């Protein structure tokens, strides 16, 4: 009798256990599915946050304007002009470099360089601290300190800047701006005014028109005019090759 009761009890317990497992399986599967969904959602959020942080974080070094010009002049020379530029982002501030270096016929005696180093606050284009150094074949011959404005010329053009720099000998105001003319054409203008002690002001002008013919190539013509005297101007025609995309 006891054996029969034990068998019946064991059989009942087994039946209950089987029923419990049968009912638990869907719940366990559902719970596992919910857990997987939560993990997928969490992974998605983490990936999205990482993408946003990556998108928002500025690169440490950002190239700016890096091109090489090669042009023939009306004086029979071949002018090579190299522009280099970059910004280094340092949190709320950045430092940068903008350089122009050129020679005629690749002869060292004709070398001229104008290299600007500046320090600015992120998002504030009205004034950056600037150091402008001019060089010739003998090295650095003039250094001036002042500011570079990155917003003023954009009121009249698509891009540009203005430097106001000085030392004990002279004050220089130099501006540059460029504007699209449509269909790949554009125009650029440089104006430099030099005011020295006890000397008349000196003026220098560059007027340039270019046409984009490929992503990395433009053709251009330019007039370089000292003191507004067109009879002493140098006229050039050539190509501009982009060095950094």
User: CATH code at 144?
Assistant: 2.40.160.40
- How many C-beta atoms lie closer than 10 Å to residue 134's C-beta? 15
Query: What is the pTM (predicted TM-score) of this model?
Result: 0.76
Same domain, 17 and 46: yes
Same domain, 127 and 211: yes
Same domain, 188 and 219: yes
What total of structural domains would you count in the chain? 2
The parent domain of residue 110 ranges over 61-242
Q: Is the dihedral of CA 232, 233, 237, 238 positive or negative?
A: positive
pLDDT, tens digit only, all 245 positions of the chain: 444 434 433 444 444 344 444 444 454 454 555 566 655 555 566 456 655 555 566 799 999 999 999 999 999 999 999 999 999 999 999 999 999 999 999 999 999 999 999 999 999 988 999 999 999 999 999 999 999 999 999 999 999 999 999 999 999 999 999 999 999 999 999 999 999 998 999 999 999 999 999 999 999 999 999 999 999 999 999 999 999 87
Cα 24 to Cα 49: distance, rounded to the nearest angstrom: 37
């Amino acid at each position: 009798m006891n054996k029969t009761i034990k068998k019946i009890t064991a059989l009942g317990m087994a039946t209950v256990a089987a029923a419990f497992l049968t009912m638990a399986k869907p719940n366990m599967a559902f719970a596992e599915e919910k857990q997987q969904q939560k993990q997928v959602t969490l992974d998605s959020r983490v990936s999205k946050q990482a993408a946003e942080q990556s998108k928002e974080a500025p690169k440490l070094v950002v190239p700016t304007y890096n091109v090489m010009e090669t042009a023939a002049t009306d004086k029979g020379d071949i002018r090579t002009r190299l522009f280099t530029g970059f910004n280094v982002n340092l949190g709320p501030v950045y430092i940068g470099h903008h350089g122009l270096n050129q020679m005629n016929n690749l002869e060292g005696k004709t070398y001229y360089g104008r290299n600007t180093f500046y320090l600015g606050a992120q998002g504030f284009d009205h004034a950056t601290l600037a150091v402008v150094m001019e060089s010739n074949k003998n090295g650095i011959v003039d250094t001036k300190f002042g500011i570079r404005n990155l917003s003023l010329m954009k009121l009249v053009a698509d891009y540009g800047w203005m430097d106001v720099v000085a030392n004990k000998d002279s004050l220089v105001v130099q501006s540059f701006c460029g504007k699209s003319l449509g269909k790949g054409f554009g125009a650029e203008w440089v104006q430099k005014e030099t005011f020295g002690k006890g000397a008349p002001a000196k003026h220098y002008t560059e007027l340039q028109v270019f046409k984009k013919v490929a992503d990395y190539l433009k053709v251009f013509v330019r007039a370089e005019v000292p003191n507004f005297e067109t009879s002493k101007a140098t006229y050039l025609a050539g190509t501009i090759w982009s060095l950094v995309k």
